[in-house]
Amino acid sequence: MAVKLGYKNVYRDPYGYPEWQASGMPVASAPAGLAPTGDSPQAPGQLYGWAMIWTLLGIFVGGMALNLTPCVYPLIPITVSYFGGQATKDGEGQGKLVAHGLCYMMGLAITNSMLGVVASLTGGLMGAVLQNPVVLIVVAAVLVFFASSLFGLWEMRLPSGLTQAAAKSYTGYFGSLFMGLTLGVVAAPCIGPFVLGLLTWVASMGSPWIGFLVFFTLSLGLGLPLFLLALFSGQLKKLPRSGGWMIWVRKLMGWVLVGMAVHFIRPLLPGHWGTLILALVVLTAGLHLGWIDTSQANFRAFPWLKGSAGVVCLVLATFLVGSWALKGSGVSWKPYSEETLKHAQSLKKPVIIDFYATWCTPCREIEDVTFHDASVVKKAESDFVMIKVDVTKGGNPVHEQLLEQYAVKGVPTIVFLDSGGTERQDLRLVDYLPPDQFLAHMAAIKQDNR
């Protein structure tokens, strides 16, 4: 997600994403790719392409796992019995059962998707607020606090009247729709902390479309197992009994929230400490879920499930540490100066100026991925002069002058100057770009020197 550097007026950009008054505070801006055009807007932040697919797949699996929490699991036989009672015994019974199931999932999707859209509509404001280190620390602390609920240190309870009203049963298709609409209320003590953590993350993205898609996917994951169980309720013999394994699933969700807390404070951590701390969290989660936790279940596969979860976490932690350890040296940057620009012109080399801030997630991503790619590093060293302007802390008069000179609206912004010192506006970048596409930009500016 590109980030504005401070505007005095509130307006809505051509993409439809709100900009918020920040008065010197960076705020979230519209999605961007290469040069912004009305024909090819991209999703904000990192949620596009394969990142989008894998994120939604993880959310879908998380939604399915929520069915195994102590608050949702007891509802499964009730839901299955309800759907079974709605179907008639004639030839249309199965079709009506499918219709009731779809109404149920629609109700669940409506509730959760509205939450996602409402949260994302605060995205511009959240984008501004979440650049404040104090706010990031508070958000991380809140996520850890909710995680402690899932670890069993305290219980989230709703007013009994609200729970009873949501648990009422109605007949017909409206009844199925109502059950889906109110599932979140009944199951809130277990899924509430996870959903609240997800809401905070969605709000930081600042896109109603992303908010809708994330929570719609979560609803599909949460509702699909119930729908399938209801569909085959006649052939269903029995479900695994409630037990300690559901407490284990709650703890799994708790570790997910702890990981989200680390994600929020990563911009505050120097160097690669964010990756190392995340690896430590994953490692601790694996040891806890796989072997330290004493939860038991009455089915034989549970010890295997615990061990598998532990091994997966250990492998992931090893991968995180390995990716950090094996990462080669990155691009060698020079601080901005007029002498550096003149020297580049004397060498007839193009210049790349990277306007960067440590609190900017796409800035860190392009630094860690693109500017550590071996091909990009090699080409930068041989054919370019690389300049970095760090605007993490405001107030530097030289940086302020550069922001005005190059009309930098936000970070990340990467400016390409040819060997004569003239910018190629069509190559300007204002968001993350993978190494192969960045190499194409480098080749394009290099072509001008021939």
Query: What positions carry a catalytic annotation?
Result: 360, 363
Residue 208 to residue 123: CA distance in whole angstroms: 8
Q: Is 293 helix (H, G, I), strand (E, B) or coil?
A: coil
Q: How far is CA 191 from the centre of its chain?
A: 18
Give which of 445, 410, 416, 431 is closest to 33, Cα–Cα: 431
Q: How far is CA 420 from the centre of its chain?
A: 41
Question: At residue 63, what is the residue type?
Answer: G
Contact criterion met (CB below 8 Å) for 20 and 27: yes
Residues 6+ apart with CB under 8 A from 292: none
Residues 6+ apart with CB under 8 A from 405: none
Contact criterion met (CB below 8 Å) for 408 and 429: no
* C-alpha pair distances (Å), 216 with each of 98, 111, 242, 250: 19, 9, 28, 22
b/e burial code for range 440-450 (CB count within 10 A of at least 16 → b): ebbeebbeeee
Residue 97 to residue 88: CA distance in whole angstroms: 8
Contact criterion met (CB below 8 Å) for 448 and 418: yes
Paired tokens of 217: 């996917």
